[in-house]
Each structure stands twice: as structure tokens, then as C-alpha cells.
Structure 1
């Protein structure tokens, strides 16, 4: 359907705005509408993306893409037909993920252990695997360049690929985004921008106990950019900032820049790390060795300390001498 026709259709514009609102609010969509009117569904979804991109707010766009990718994962698991593994492998190919049923690559205990595993080409795996130690390729069976994963992990890779595809579509269609920006009344998304637009991260530029170590500074910079961090990075920065005297609410506010932010879950997790709920155990800041094993040390243990909390004091003492 031509873009002008979509923009000029009040019904499709309303559908697109509702799609955008629900995605940003992480509210569920009725998949029935996708089945009953797939053309209108697709047109409204594309227009919603263009409207998100037209706001020129990277955080809002990333939040939209993150929510849409999670909805895509839910549809893959619930919509009849798409649940079939062969269909998911075809979807993977469209997203640039090279995969095949694992029994075509390996047999025996690996297939039996995972139940219904999928073999993913190692280049696709590295491109879309989340930055988390759980996903390190060394922890996966690799056979002749194919990484064997359980079905649920394969679906997770497709979620990441779908999110990247959404952002790529926005980048590659700047003219269409510009036409949408020029054609649609900005007041229609004013409330959404007020509620979901990225707010600048407020953090001390030169906190007590000296500067942040490179690992924690990199995590903070990623948060400022609105990046989605792996769980290990979120755990590390929470423990570190608690040690530096930040309270739970300050840290919760820090995570508001994450595209997948959920206030209730985030507050509980930070309180758990602080020892305020659950087992009442206050977690220590991960050591430099641990940070490096998690892939979170940009200097490869080159800071000369054993724990990130020692870095600020060391730099301060060195400058005073």
C-alpha cells in the first residue's frame, strides 16, 4: 500500500498511533487483527515505526523496536502455523539468520538433550546472541560451524534479529520518515514523547572516591545512550553504585533509560541486590576477574586493581602524589 494512502487514511493512522502507544506502554495486542486484516495490520505497523522515527528521539524508537520484537516472539509462539519449526526457519532466513533443524547437522545425545534443537550458523549466532555469558559460544555445542541451541534460544535469536531489522528499516527509509514527519500533526504524539522520551541521565560528573573505573563508565555510557544491557552489566552497575552510596530510587531512575524498563521489576531487583528483600543478602561488587570473564572489562584487566571499587581511590592517591 502506498505511503500517501496510508497517511491519508484516518483509520490506518488511528491504528498506527494506537500500535505505537501500546508498544511504548508494553500493552498486549490482539493477534486476531493480524489474522483477520493482515494488510491493514502491516501498513499500520510500518506507519507506527515511521512515526516513532519521525520523533527523532532514539530512545523512544529503541523502546518501540524492543517492544515490537517481544510481541513478534509472542506471535511466533502462539499463532498457529508459525509455531512449526520449518516456518520459523523460513522466518529466520528472511531476517538474515542461517539455520536448519539440528538433526541435519548432528545426531545422538545433543539432539536428545535439547528435545527439538536448531542448528544456527556461527556467524548468525555471534551477530544476534545477547551479550551475556550464558550465550558465550564456548558454552554451546558447535559442530562444523553450526551452533546447536534449544528451540527457545533460537526464538530469542530471532527476537534480536527482528529488533535489528526494525531499526534498520527506519534508517534505510529516511525519505519516508521525513514525509511522515511533515504530514502528521506533531501534537498527536506529544503525550507519548512526554511520557516515554529519554530523560538525560543525572549522575555526578566527578563522584566521591574518585572517577569511575573504565568498566563501570562504559556501562553508564551505554545507559546514557539508551542501550539494552545484558543482565550481568545491570547487576554489576547496581552493586557498584550501591557501594558508592547511591540509594535504590536513584538506581531505578538510572535504568529508566533502558528500552525494556519495567519499574516494578527493576525496583525489586535493585532492592534484592541491596539486601532489602528476598534473602536479605547484600551482594558484593563483582571482582575484576569476574567482570573480565563476563566480557565487561574494556582494558582486559589493565587497571591494576582487583575490584572496580578500588579504582577511584587508586587514581585519587596517584594524582595527590
Structure 2
């Protein structure tokens, strides 16, 4: 295989945006009806609430970049991965539209969320429309693995939905175990990220061991990302995260550090506070954060994030792919996981 100079992270993400955004806009224009088109264009940041073009978009393009690199890992040209990149970004934004509703979030990327502007039914339907568009993009792609890629994206989407459902169910349970929580995070976050890493190769009809290896790499990265995200939800800098300190604790989220701490011996005070019926006051939230840390939840989550990233890197070294692609995949993985506390 020909080895080329490894592009920087900025080059990888910028080139993905340059290639994918026009195709993504065209897909939304041609696959969605007028009403859903208007909501989707607003959500992506391409238009204001009245439909007037804005020309801006705050998406990082991580998943499309991974899908394009996946196609190159299979020996194809980067452009051959375009349908996979568009499809995975459509599914990702389907999840964002629905997550904003479920979480009651009123802002995303510095703008009012779509459900606040267009209503809950409209935002739900727009998310549904993006999923159907994603499947159409893959099934109509002139590539040998079109059907396989469409099936794998459907499987990843189902797992993501199952993970989100489990996350919601955990809010009402007192007995969530750490293995359950890890499994939930693997589905909720790891499934789609893993699929993004494999989808471009799958679309090209690559051999199963390469598709499987790329997917496993991405799932480890996805779990590491969720662990870091959960740490940020308790101890993150609000100026960096855009959330209040202890945001996840306010809603008694069963995040990975919390569940690890609740499962630890000697966590009676934490269980009484966090699993009790009374609303948490600000002093309570600070106390809970201290107790989670004392019980080892913070250290466990950080160590597990490091372990998952190391496992991803090991899996990457076993794959017979161009060195510049391997290095670029590692760069993107480091960016996904390496957010500061």
C-alpha cells in the first residue's frame, strides 16, 4: 500500500467538511419534504427559523471523517466513502434532535434547539426523516457493499436507541450495576462511533476482518468518549463544557463514575443522598461529587477511559491499512477522547 504524509487533525476534519457538507445539504434537499427540510436545515445551522440561509454549521464532522478514513483503509479513494459519511452524519443528527427533546435542552451550538422553535412533533419527525434518508443514501450508493453497509448502520442505530432507552430507564432504578451501565454506554455511544469507523470499508465490500477490526477500534473509542463525557458532567469546567458544575448530579444521572461509586463498599452516605427522594440542594451536589470521588468513581472512570483508548490503539495496530490512515484514525480518536476536565 502507498504511504502518504499523515495529515494533521485540522486537515482531516476540514477536508471532511469540505467534501461532506455539500453532499449532506443535497441529501437533505432531495430526500426530505418541505416541512422536514426546513426543520433539518435549521437544526444543521444552514438556515434561520424563517428558512433564510445563514451559511454556518457548528458540527465537528468527526463521524464523517472516520467514515471517509474507513473507505481509505479499504484501499478506496476518499470520495468513495462519501455515502457512508453522509449517512452516519444524518443518523447522528437524528439522535441529537431526539436527545434535545428527551433532555429538555433548549440550546445547541449556541442556538435555540429545533423542538423549541418548531415544536416537539416537528422535531421528532425531522429526526425520523433523517434516518430514512441515511438508509436511502447507502442503498442507492453504486458500491459492492451497499446492502451490507445499510444493514450495519441499521444495527448500530438500533443499538444506539436501546442504549438511550436503558439510560432513561436507569433514572428510575436504585439497583443499576456497573456492568449494566458499561453495556448501556457501549450501545448509546460506542455503537454509532464504531459503525462510523467501519462503514466506509463495509460500503466498499471489504473483507470481514477489516470491517470488524475498524468497528472494534471505534467502539473502544466511543466508550472512552462516554467515560470522559461522564467525568465532565460532574467535574468539568463550565467555560469549556457549557454546563453547570455537577450538571449530571442535579438530575441524579446514573453515569459511569456515579454507578462505580455506588457499587463500592462503604458508600452508604452516597447512596442515601443520591438515591433518596428529596431534591438535591447545592451543598448536597457538592457533597455527592466529593463522595463519588472518595468512593473511587472518578479514578475508576479515568482509568477505564485510558484503558479503552489503549485497547483502541492496540486494535488499530493489528489492521493492515496504510500508515497515514492509521495515524489519522489515531489522531481523530485522541481528539474525541482528549477533552479537558
* TM-score bracket, shorter-length normalisation: under 0.3
More helix by share: 2
- TM-score, normalised relative to structure 2: 0.25
Structure with higher RCO (Cα < 8 A, 6+ apart): 2
Between Structure 1 and Structure 2, whose CA radius of gyration is higher? Answer: 1
